[in-house]
Chains A and B, each alone.
Chain A
Amino acid sequence: MSTASVPLPAWINYGLIPLLNLILAFLFSGLVVWAIGESPFEALQLLLIGALGRGEGIGFTLFYTTSFIFTGLSVAVAIHAGLFNIGSEGQAYLGGLGAALVALAMDHYVPWYVTMPFAVIGAALFGAACAAIPAWLQAKRGSHIVITTIMFNFIVSSLMNYMLVRLLIVPGKMAPETRTFLPGGQLPKLDWLIAMFGGKIGAAPLNFSFLIALIMCFLVWVLIWRTKLGYEMRTLGISPTAASYAGIRYSRIVMITMLISGGLAGMMALNPVMGASARLQIEFVGGAGFVGIAVSLMGRNHPAGIILSALLFGILYQGGAELSFDMPGITRDMIVVIQGMVILFAGALEYMLRPSIVRLYQQLTGK
């Protein structure tokens, strides 16, 4: 009998199995660390303390988490409709232009809380615009969304390069970036959030967009599981033919899903552009769009799961940086290996342990 269909209690499915996968990932990472002659225990300790030990570390961890939540949600929304959006990277990049243009236009005149809603809309609109053409091509012409979205990453990168090198750059400056936004164009830091737990945020760039990310998680949950549109999206994702038989319009759902997906990716830009550096910099997304794919898959495309897996990647990013800083023997390439292990075990091989756990469960419960 196949073990894949055996129902398991939720605590095993969503708690125990991911935890075991994670432990396996760290075990293998530990072996690699040991193989290059460093102490795995010390490394793990440095990683965890670096990410969660101090208020500043937590601030950095949550800063990375924020970006990954947005891109994770973006990927998840598309996956529910059976679309694989690999373009979150480019959509977030273009979203940065939307946020930056709003900030540049308004920061002289109004305080941040007036700028913010416009910036959120601007970022989402630009991100959605970037997803619109691939969506239309998929809906009307059947061009595969994976190919078109990934190609749009390059188109956006060229466009942004042109904008920053030619138009938005501060004349005479070497770095291709816009001027620094005034406080009216910046999102405030969440120092009070860290202070609530008795820590100090220090230089960590954790900012208001973290709260926006959490709100978006809730809204995505409502959309997918509590609205008619979400139902149609899920139906389309599970069976396009059944959806069409039920009268769900394919191209309409594809368009709407991709616009929402692109919008969510675009909002990711709020975090680095308006929250952390207060300027639009070249290549500010830095791979967060691609990490979003792993985050979404590991989080089982559910907002709650996405928050947890985004947090995990936040810990790996921040802890990894601290680790390679404090342990020079562990280079940045080693950190990529550890991150890869986590993706491999917790994402790609998530069902590896399932059969044996099912058997164990059946023996223990006597079913």
Chain B
Amino acid sequence: MKKTLLSLIAMAAMSATALAADIKPALVYGTGGKFDKSFNEAAANGAEKFKKETGIEFRDFEPTNDTQGEQAIRNFASRGFNPVVAVSFAWTSAMEKVAAEFPDTKFVIVDSVVKLKNVRSVLYKEEEGSYLVGLLAGMASKTGKVGFVGGMDIPLIRKFACGYVQGVKAAKPDAQVFQNMTGTTGAAWNDPVRGGELTKNQIDQGADIVYAAAGATGLGVLQTAADNKKLSIGVDSNQNHLHPGSVLTSMVKRVDLAVYNAFKDTKDDKFTAGIQALGVKEDGVAYALDDNNKALITPEMKAAVEKAKADIIAGTVKVHDYMSNNACNK
């Protein structure tokens, strides 16, 4: 009896301390779904990492349409979840509404800006990361022709393309860049077959390196490039391991970092609202170098890309951002 009582007290004490430090984080994905091997999955990985380190459970939700996204964000907020992280520009207007209704809850939105006191907006300077991989592509290309396969034709993807073109031209001013978007609907994020066809087409035109910024569609791009003994460039997550020796590098966008930091900052009571623009300097975007692509990146290329990186950080190289004027002045 005494023992049970003691263990009860111990349990009560434990749960009390757990409650004091615990937060109830929630994560709302984009409509692409959690397991896209790219953007959303990176977000999930950030949350999983937080869970592993702290033991704190999180809830997540995969909306299928715009109405559901807003509902999910509101449901999480009204049930006391804090912080609520939404990873897609598609939830911009939803968050504007919901964050205003719950001023005590902390919100984070990725890839878009919501100007409210309790919202942190995390943006990535994709143009800088794309510039770096573009530079590598320009140097590695033997034909002087490289390709770009985008997902859905939206400003965000044009931002990727614009940075890439600038990087390629920085390495080879007369290089030719073929650009294709996979489609105009959300299906364009998940169409590896079409991604492969576009890649084949670009290869037939002489491209020997193709950069995919297209979610799961990119898997088809990487596959086709590998099948044709050409090089490809992955995106969002480090995809070098998918086809070792054929993926030149990956433009890593650390969405996991945004999610992890949001959870961690809330837990440590260090949450700050406002805009966070994560570029090369903040390690928000980077080119991936590991054992799988070591042989593809010559010391000369490495030196050049590291110099470009340093120049961007120092501000001597400025990569034009498509979003700043909805145009790409290359």
Contact = CB atoms under 8 A, between A and B. Distances in A.
A205 B67 contact: yes
A161 interface: yes
Contacts of A279: 93
A251 interface: no
Nearest to A171: B326
Interface stretch (A18-26, A100-108, A281-289): A281-289
A182 interface: no
Interface string A157-191: 11011100100010111111100100000000000
Given A203-B74, A325-B75, A176 B68 contact: no
A293 B133 CA distance: 46
Interface stretch (B45-53, B151-159, B305-313): B151-159
B62 A332 contact: yes
A281 B112 contact: no
A169 B155 contact: yes
A11 B90 CA distance: 46
Interface string A321-355: 10011001001100100000000000000000000
Nearest to B60: A328
Nearest to B184: A161
Main secondary structure of the interface of B (DSSP, over half): helix
A174 B89 CA distance: 7
A321 B62 CA distance: 10
A60 interface: yes
B103 interface: no
B154 A176 contact: yes
Contacts of B186: 283
Interface size class of chain A, counting residues whose CB lies under 8 Å from the partner chain: 35 or more
Contact of A277 (B66, B111, B153): B66
A63 interface: yes
B61 interface: yes
B155 A177 contact: no
A181 B188 CA distance: 29
A308 interface: no
A240 to B, nearest CB: 34
Contacts of A272: 66-67
A276 interface: yes
Nearest to B72: A325
A162 B158 CA distance: 13
Contacts, number: 86
Contacts of A331: 62
Contacts of B184: 157-158, 160-162
B68 A321 contact: yes
B59 interface: yes
Given A174-B89, A279-B93, A169 B326 contact: yes
Contacts of A165: 153-155
Contact of A174 (B68, B97, B111): B111
B316 interface: no
Contacts of B93: 175, 177, 180, 277, 279, 281
Interface string B180-199: 00001110000000000000
Nearest to B70: A203
Interface in B94-146: 97, 101, 111-113
A174 B155 contact: yes
A162 B65 CA distance: 21
Contacts of A286: 64-67
B323 interface: yes
Interface string A276-305: 110101111011000000000000000000
B68 to A, nearest CB: 5
A205 B93 CA distance: 14
A177 B92 CA distance: 11
A317 B79 CA distance: 21
7 contacts: A60-B67, A157-B184, A157-B185, A174-B323, A321-B63, A331-B62, A335-B64
Q: Which 10 A-B pairs have the closest CB atoms?
A: A161-B184, A286-B65, A174-B89, A158-B184, A174-B112, A175-B89, A321-B68, A175-B92, A157-B184, A157-B185
Given A173-B112, A205-B67, A286-B67, 9 more contacts: A63-B67, A157-B184, A157-B185, A169-B326, A172-B326, A173-B92, A203-B71, A279-B93, A324-B62
